[in-house]
Amino acid sequence: MKVLEDRIRKDGKILPGDILKIDNFLNHQIDTKLMEEIGEEFYELFKDKEPNKILTIESSGIAIGMAASKYFGYIPVVFAKKTVAANMAANTYEAKEHSYTRNIEYTVQVAKDYLNENDRVLILDDFLANGEAMNALIRICDQAGAKIVGCGSVVCKTYQPGEQRIRDMGYKVEVLARVSHMSDDGEIEFE
Q: Which residues here bind a copy of itself, judged by CB under 8 A? A: 23-24, 28-33, 35-36, 58-60, 62-63, 65-67, 69-70, 74-79, 81, 110-111, 113-114
Beta carbon nearer to a copy of itself, 144 or 173: 144
CB of 82 vs a copy of itself, minimal distance in Å: 9
Chain-centroid distance of CA 146 in Å reads 18
Could you give the CA distance from residue 5 to residue 11 in angstroms, rounded to a whole number? 10
Give me the phi and psi of 124, to 5 degrees please: -125, 140
Beta carbon nearer to a copy of itself, 108 or 166: 108
CB of 115 vs a copy of itself, minimal distance in Å: 9
CB of 99 vs a copy of itself, minimal distance in Å: 14
| Cβ partners under 8 Å of residue 71, min gap 6 | 39, 40, 42, 43, 47
| Cβ partners under 8 Å of residue 32, min gap 6 | 63, 67
**Helix (H/G/I), strand (E/B), else coil: 35:** helix
Could you give the CA distance from residue 119 to residue 140 in angstroms, rounded to a whole number? 12
CB of 62 vs a copy of itself, minimal distance in Å: 4
Q: Centre a 10 Å sphere on the Cβ of residue 33 and count the other Cβ atoms it contains.
A: 11
CB of 181 vs a copy of itself, minimal distance in Å: 25
Q: Centre a 10 Å sphere on the Cβ of residue 134 and count the other Cβ atoms it contains.
A: 29
Beta carbon nearer to a copy of itself, 13 or 181: 13
Beta carbon nearer to a copy of itself, 23 or 191: 23
CB of 159 vs a copy of itself, minimal distance in Å: 28
Could you give the CA distance from residue 102 to residue 148 in angstroms, rounded to a whole number? 28
Beta carbon nearer to a copy of itself, 4 or 173: 4
Beta carbon nearer to a copy of itself, 70 or 96: 70
